[in-house]
Structure 1
């Protein structure tokens, strides 16, 4: 038991350089929420639903993280900061990192049957802050969900999703093979299309400025010529 806890705390420390000791990590909201969820999930599986919900609400009060007791969570989940919601039928694999204000939300079944409504998150996925992953979709292993992305379709293994509605971006192998990527968003590659657009706009703006300068110069020359002509007639 102690070895498992130590391994978990070390896995958190590997993804977050802020803590100075394991004791400090024990106070993290995400760590407290996960520990209480283990208790709530055990009660849920024992069909002690009221007690499971009570533990769930107590955890939410302490941590601002709402994990439904029915959610299935693997090893070494790290929720960095709070205000995260994880739905009843969500399934989360091993070594998943979730940043603040993330929702693993469900769809409303039209037939009234609950069923699978929430996402399945595979191993080693990183979900950036503010992301919304909605519906019974699958996020493949080692995928990255960028900050504020809205994901409603299956995500291929190793893909990086950005935008609203989220789209996949190509990530070089050297980025994909990194053990951990903060906030699930590489600093360069997913931003490349936007950077190209900015450079193009800047080039067009410079061209327009040059044309305006030429027009001003030609208009100024015309005014000077007309003034000289008027002076000569006078």
Structure 2
């Protein structure tokens, strides 16, 4: 969504500013700091560009479970599906669905303001169920970059036929590995988040979206909490 681009760019700039003006450092320390900032900036820029794409990405979760992230433009819409739940953001509503047992139930709330992206708190349920969204991963990378004791190493891999840049992070807050494809799509993640072990890997990527992914589950019970139109 349009404002997301500005937000992520500001995030990357603020990280670089914070890292490059802090105290007196040795040449080696300065080199490591600049390297962290550049890496965060590059990955944030990739994720930033991906917000303007139309795509569907399927992910493999532990235990044979799966999750999906889908985006479309004109109008900007997104859908996040994980075991037992779904979050859909469209110009009409922000919709949270519980699909784990029996009949699905969905709650409709007001959509984000025009030109605004969903807040990171919207993705709490997805994160608890094993689906990390790009904004959450950006936050983890930023925290690691700001940790002077973190060790961050870069590598490359291929996921679902797509090249990806990976970072291995070792830090007191918890080690993790995250990969982002050249197009800016989250490729994989392994590590502990909020005390939970999270693992996911891209299994399929398509530059197209089935419009039905933004619809409510069939026969879902619906609670509409959107403000009444004036």
TM-score by length of 1: 0.23
Query: When the two structures are superposed, what TM-score results if normalisation uses the length of structure 2?
Result: 0.23
Which structure would you say has the larger Rg?
1
Structure with more of its chain in strand, by fraction:
2
Structure number with the higher helix fraction is: 1
